[in-house]
Amino acid sequence: MSAPNLTKLANAFGTDKGDAVLYAHDYTKFYSFMFEEFRHEPFTMVEIGLQQGCLDPDALLVRRGEDTPSIKMWLEFFPRADIIGCDISDFGAIKMNRFRFERLDMGDPAALERLARSLPPVRIIVEDASHAAYHQQLAFAKLFPIVQPGGFYIIEDLHTTHPIAATLPSCSPTAAVVEKFTRTRQIEIPFLSGIERRNLETSIRKTFIHWNDKGGVDRWAMKMVAFEKY
């Protein structure tokens, strides 16, 4: 029996991880290549950021999510996976087999730590939330430790950001952090302790980068990164 086409699933369910909806990032070809080997295995997956966001942070706090396009795609593609979806908005009314919702503020270190403690080892984490560098790097630091050996932590949409970034602690763009790590094996995240940085540096086995259509080596061309766990 042929495997489902992940890009077609993305387009059908209405997520822009495919090549036809909204920003049409075309991430699904990358994901199909990386995940096919264990597609039929039982495992836990986490996705952070469940629906198209908005520019008003206050509106996000009171929004009630009505759809989860990418979760539907993952549930179809991974027939035995349990998927935890996280968002700052309330998606608690959405009920699907093998799906559970956890409300999460990515700017709250304690909330990220509680989430990490509550989960079993995770095969895949996809972070597609605010696109603010501080949120991206804080969540990576707190959640990468629960990724299983051989699993992946993915940060999407490194080429853009949210206006909320201006209100958050200062840090380098995540694309710049990734670029330096590929050259030096050093993680430069200023708000982490030396031990936290070293733990990240020594637990990353490989780094996979998805570039934009222009190609090249300019760091602003970087759209997505996947970190494979040792």
Quick: pLDDT tens for 90-149. Answer: 999 999 999 999 999 999 999 999 999 999 999 999 999 989 999 999 999 999 999 999
Alpha carbons 159 and 214: distance in angstroms, whole number: 12
Q: Using 50, 70 and 90 to split pLDDT, how confident is the model at 17? A: very high
- Whether residue 223 is contained in a domain is answered as yes
Q: Which of 162, 194, 197, 193 is nearest to 177 (CA)?
A: 197
Q: In whole angstroms, how far apart are CA 159 and each of 29, 76, 82, 175?
A: 18, 28, 29, 8
Burial of residue 216 (number of CB atoms within 10 Å: 0-12, 13-18, 19+): exposed
- The predicted-structure confidence for 174-186, as pLDDT tens digits, reads as follows 999 999 999 999 9
Q: Using 50, 70 and 90 to split pLDDT, how confident is the model at 19? A: very high
Which CATH number do you get for residue 51? 3.40.50.150
- Tell me the average pLDDT of the chain: 92
Q: Using 50, 70 and 90 to split pLDDT, how confident is the model at 157? A: very high
* Span of 28-37, 59-68, 151-160 with lowest mean pLDDT: 59-68
- Whether residue 193 is contained in a domain is answered as yes
Please, are residues 195 and 179 in contact by the beta-carbon 8 Å criterion? no
Q: Is the pLDDT of residue 188 over 80?
A: yes
Count CA atoms closer than 13 A to 133's CA, side-chain side: 17
Catalytic residue among 131, 135, 159, 210: 131
Say which residue the tokens 């079993």 belong to: 120
- Whether residue 75 is contained in a domain is answered as yes
Q: Residue 219 has what pLDDT?
A: 46
- Whether residue 207 is contained in a domain is answered as yes
Please, are residues 11 and 18 in contact by the beta-carbon 8 Å criterion? yes
Give the distance, in angstroms, between the CA of residue 225 and the centroid of all CA atoms in the same chain. Answer: 9
Domain that holds residue 153: 6-229
- Whether residue 1 is contained in a domain is answered as no
- Whether residue 129 is contained in a domain is answered as yes
Q: Is the pLDDT of residue 55 over 70?
A: no
Q: Where would I find the H helices in the chain?
A: 6-13, 28-35, 57-62, 69-77, 109-118, 133-143, 174-184, 194-203
Q: Using 50, 70 and 90 to split pLDDT, how confident is the model at 2? A: low
Tell me if residue 135 is catalytic.
no
Say which residue the tokens 């995240």 belong to: 189
Q: Residue 51 has what pLDDT?
A: 82
CB atoms within 10 A of CB 36: 12
Structure pTM?
Answer: 0.94
Q: Using 50, 70 and 90 to split pLDDT, how confident is the model at 163? A: confident
Please count the structural domains in the chain: 1
Count CA atoms closer than 13 A to 217's CA, side-chain side: 4
Q: Is the pLDDT of residue 226 over 60?
A: yes
% of the chain exceeding 70 in pLDDT: 94
